[in-house]
Amino acid sequence: MAAEKFKQLKKYLDSQVIGQGELTENILIALLANGHLLVEGPPGLAKTRAINALANGLEGDFHRVQFTPDLLPADLTGTDIYRTEDGSFVFQQGPLFHNLVLADEINRAPAKVQSALLEAMAEQQITVGQKTYALPELFLVMATQNPLEQEGTYPLPEAQLDRFLMHLEVNYPGAEVEKAILKLTRNEALAEKVAKPEPLSQAEIFAARKEILSLHMAEELEDYLVNLIVATRQPAQYDEKLASWIGFGASPRATIALERCARAKAWLAGRDFVTPEDIQAVFFNTLRHRILLTYEAEADGISANQVLAHILSLVAVP
């Protein structure tokens, strides 16, 4: 039943975010794997629209936060409000106390704001003064970055990047897709909206997460998954060229993320077992933000995607 409702939700997302099938699938993978998303791409590619569409298909609330250089931690977490009538302080919840949070242009906020968001993403809680408050059980942050403009931005710290389950890259659509987008926006302007699917309940999402963890993964496949991660830490064992490209490899958190995402992809495909192709399909999105390249690699114009593709070619598939 839950699998069928996820299929309907995927169909709805694809009808609202045309030509971005990989983005909509990975949003569902993040939801199933209980992780957060960092989406990078030029403006106008439906990044905000995608998370809005997801909010329409779920039983939960949604809040968008536009990150700016003058944002304060309290603008995310909330703050204690003084009540003059009785001289007490009452905590006023901030936007992080929602099920889905869109952090738009996340790299425009300073370090203190990133620190508050990091605690929420890592511990699913926030701290104000001497008190700690739990966030909702269903909690997903989708952050966006604009790679074209760097003025007035703050690079995200590595610790925070590692807290994102996946880092997605969104590119421009083709001509045929662009025509379909024009038709969709015209229909919306005429108030001809696509019918929403029956919202997924939070209980169904939690049940699907348990199903995913019970999928069969062969021991040889677990070894393959671990070997892919180890190759980022011990590249000299595989190839001199790889060793010259990677400065620091991925942590065990990357291993967990890769396994969870591969399981979610297999489940969305209707299978009760994981294949090597599932691991390879999510490998780039779960690892591209978790490896640090050397100066030599950057000087030679080598990208993280090229490094990861080379790793896939070196590690034997079971």
Q: What is the pLDDT of residues 253-285, one digit of tens each?
A: 999 999 999 999 999 999 999 999 999 999 999
Token pair in block for residue 24? 């909509």
- Expressed in angstroms, the distance from the first to the final Cα of the chain is 33
Q: What is the mean pLDDT of residues 122-126?
A: 90
Domain 2-170 in CATH 3.40.470.10: no
Return d(Cα 29, Cα 34) in angstroms, integer: 8
Q: What is the mean pLDDT of residues 170-197?
A: 80
pTM of structure: 0.90
CATH architecture under which domain 215-314 falls: Orthogonal Bundle (1.10)
What integer pLDDT is reported at residue 254 of this predicted model? Answer: 94
Residues 128 and 78 sit within 8 Å (Cβ to Cβ)? yes
Residues 6+ apart with CB under 8 A from 267: 3, 32, 208, 211, 212, 215
Residues 6+ apart with CB under 8 A from 272: 215, 216, 266
Mean pLDDT of all residues belonging to the chain: 88
11 membership: H or E segment, kind and range: helix 2-16
Task: State the pLDDT confidence band at 152, using cuts at 50, 70 and 90.
Answer: low
Boundaries of every domain in the chain: 2-170, 215-314
Amino acid at 170: V
What integer pLDDT is reported at residue 177 of this predicted model? Answer: 83
For 18-22, the CB contacts below 8 A with 24+ separation are 18/46, 18/173, 18/177, 18/180, 18/181, 18/184, 19/173, 19/174, 19/177, 19/178, 19/180, 19/181, 20/45, 20/46, 20/50, 20/170, 20/173, 22/168
Q: What is the mean pLDDT of residues 205-213?
A: 93
Task: State the pLDDT confidence band at 1, using cuts at 50, 70 and 90.
Answer: low
Residues 6+ apart with CB under 8 A from 153: 107, 108
Residues 6+ apart with CB under 8 A from 211: 2, 267
Q: What is the mean pLDDT of residues 47-62?
A: 87
